[in-house]
Amino acid sequence: MVAETDARAGIISSGKAHQLPVGNVVTTFLSEGALRRIGSAVQLPRYDRGATRISVVHFGPGAFHRVHQACYLDDLLHQDPGWGICGVSLKTSGVRDALSPQDRLYTLAVLDEESSFRVIGAIRELLVATENPSAVFARLCAPEIRLVTSTVTEKGYCLAADGSLDQLHPDIQHDLGTPGVPVSVIGYLVEGLRRRREAKLAPFTVVCCDNLADNGGRLRRAVTQLAGARSPDLAAWIEAEVAFPRTMVDSITPATDDALRARVRDALGVEDRWPVQREAYVQWVIEQDPRSCAPELRPVGVIVTNDVAAYERAKLRVLNGAHSSLAYLGTLAGHQTVAEAMTDPDLVRFVQTMMVEDVLPTLTAPRELDLRQYVDAVLRRFRNRAIRHPLAQIAWDGSQKLPFRLFGTIRDALTTGRPIDRLCIPIAAWMHFVRQRALKGERVVDPLAEKLFEIGRETEGHAVVDLRRFFEIESVFPPDLIAEPRFVAALSKAYDGLSRTSFSTAALT
């Protein structure tokens, strides 16, 4: 193995076990050299990492990528060494700084009734775009790169309320002015594709792995819009030649904490600076596209289909819609985690009834999916006590998530004349969540945190006053929806119903 130096960590990675003093104790960290110390109960890479080749660039190598796509590609590397990953952090260096001294190895803890631990070796390179954009472009323009994936969250794509590119977004304005040093994933994709076209290289396939309705279509439109603002010819080439398959991804992934680090240390016998955890359930659905140059992923469990939209709607509306409902209602009721909230019979009854009676009628199931069984599986996953999934984490970025997770169901119900009263309760709970935090002087974790803080401080606890303030946020509440009397009436009823001083989920029954 070739020695590599991480200047920030001051550690030379040469296949030897890394030992650093922690207090008065010498601690061994995960690395290539430390793998031989790990017991047989932990699954290790069984392929020669030195023989692997990078053909995937991933933007946003955070926890979800590392428990999901990187795990699938790690499985693939056992069959084909040509699918290593270059991870690119757009802004922060945390992942690079933690994993580079570990030879980019990390531990995946799969937590269920029977938990297991696995060391993932698929990430072969980590770059920080703000520090070295030229290195990112060098990798994007390498002839062997065939796949570019992304998990930058909904807000990372700089989209307007209608799903198109927000060309007034500061990051997009920056990328239009200085395309060679972009700050957005859209800017990197456009300039990377432009350079590949200029070099007469085949384009890479672009796979969005974030929870966006029609994620491939939205990303295609955003990329072609930015490209079109620079060159209509480039936009036309991207439209004709580049595959942006739709995808659906699923696995509950709580944030890393000290408790996880301790469990991993006990299981491996070495320290891991940044392990990740998820439930046992994992799913990746990718649209079939004849232009795609992605690897054949069916052998490692990926579903390839022509109907990703059906899987996507089921996941967004059933799983994610229920998750957000639990987050805000559970928090108002004083619960801390999903599993704890699932011990509240009134809350469970509400969420289950909402999924079955309000959400399922708006869905058309793909051939391979039984929707009632899917609801039962979601409820079982929520009850998994091995996963400590904080409601506060699910509550992050509500202004970005709710339009995708609940508003589509509400629109469909309004169109067919079905009731929406139950569906409006989680939205009202989000408003009260914002209000409670603001009245305590706290800001929620959200791209619109400052705006929501201002609104929350001005609320009075009555729908007739407060809804008007929330409705000012057009990116959350589009004009056509707030012009619908049935929606306003149902949301007002839900908001006032949750305004009691001592909220109890018994009020939901």
Q: Do 350 and 255 fall into the same domain? A: no
The average pLDDT across 115-124 equals 97
Q: What is the residue-averaged pLDDT of the chain?
A: 92
Spatial contact of 497 and 434, defined as CB atoms under 8 Å apart: no
Q: Do 92 and 188 fall into the same domain? A: yes
Please report how the helices 232-241 and 215-230 are oriented relative to each other, as an axis angle in degrees rounded to 10.
Answer: 150
pLDDT, tens only, 74-86: 999 999 999 999 9
Smallest CA-to-CA distance from 350 within 402, 427, 423, 407 is with 423
Q: Do 54 and 149 fall into the same domain? A: yes
Q: What is the enclosing helix (H) or strand (E) of 284?
A: strand 283-287
Give me the CATH number covering residue 161.
Answer: 3.40.50.720
DSSP-derived 3-state class of residue 297: coil
pLDDT classification of 12: cutoffs 50, 70, 90: very low
Spatial contact of 326 and 382, defined as CB atoms under 8 Å apart: yes
pLDDT classification of 13: cutoffs 50, 70, 90: very low
pLDDT classification of 14: cutoffs 50, 70, 90: very low
Token digits for 170? Answer: 């500061």
The average pLDDT across 61-77 equals 98
pLDDT classification of 15: cutoffs 50, 70, 90: very low
pLDDT, tens only, 142-184: 999 999 999 999 899 999 978 899 999 999 999 999 999 999 9
For residue 365, pLDDT over 90 is answered with: no
Give percent of the chain with pLDDT exceeding 70.
93
Domains in the chain, number? 2
Q: Do 298 and 346 fall into the same domain? A: no
Q: What is the enclosing helix (H) or strand (E) of 109?
A: strand 106-110
Give me the CATH number covering residue 427.
Answer: 1.10.1040.10
pLDDT, tens only, 374-398: 999 999 999 999 988 899 999 999 9
Q: What is the pLDDT of residue 10?
A: 28
Q: Which of 305, 323, 340 is the last residue of a domain?
A: 305
Q: What is the pLDDT of residue 509?
A: 60
pLDDT, tens only, 419-434: 999 999 999 999 999 9
pLDDT classification of 23: cutoffs 50, 70, 90: low
Residue 377 burial (C-beta neighbours within 10 Å; 0-12, 13-18, 19+): middle
Q: Do 83 and 9 fall into the same domain? A: yes
Q: What is the pLDDT of residue 437?
A: 96
Q: Do 268 and 291 fall into the same domain? A: yes
Spatial contact of 258 and 271, defined as CB atoms under 8 Å apart: no
Q: What is the pLDDT of residue 105?
A: 98
Domain range holding 315?
Answer: 310-508
Q: What is the pLDDT of residue 473?
A: 95
Q: What is the pLDDT of residue 368?
A: 79
Q: Do 288 and 364 fall into the same domain? A: no
Q: Do 181 and 90 fall into the same domain? A: yes
Q: Which of 305, 337, 372 is the last residue of a domain?
A: 305
Whole-model pTM: value is 0.79
Residue 226 vs residues 216, 237, 246, 381: alpha-carbon distances, Å: 16, 13, 20, 40
| Top-confidence residue, 92 or 368 | 92
Q: What is the pLDDT of residue 3?
A: 29
The average pLDDT across 225-240 equals 97
pLDDT classification of 241: cutoffs 50, 70, 90: very high
Q: Do 354 and 296 fall into the same domain? A: no
For residue 4, pLDDT over 50 is answered with: no
For residue 6, pLDDT over 50 is answered with: no
For residue 50, pLDDT over 90 is answered with: yes
DSSP-derived 3-state class of residue 54: strand
Torsions phi, psi for 138 (to 5 deg): -60, -40
The average pLDDT across 468-472 equals 96
pLDDT, tens only, 259-314: 999 999 999 999 999 999 999 999 999 999 999 999 999 999 999 999 998 998 89
The average pLDDT across 131-137 equals 98
| Top-confidence residue, 16 or 35 | 35
Distance of CA 119 to the CA centre of its chain: 21
Smallest CA-to-CA distance from 395 within 462, 338, 473, 478 is with 338
Q: Which of 259, 281, 305 is the last residue of a domain?
A: 305
Smallest CA-to-CA distance from 358 within 284, 421, 402, 276 is with 421
CB count within 10 Å of CB 499 equals 17
Q: Do 156 and 232 fall into the same domain? A: yes
Q: Do 289 and 140 fall into the same domain? A: yes
For residue 7, pLDDT over 50 is answered with: no
Q: Do 398 and 293 fall into the same domain? A: no
For residue 355, pLDDT over 50 is answered with: yes
CA distance 160 to 152: 16
The average pLDDT across 119-129 equals 98
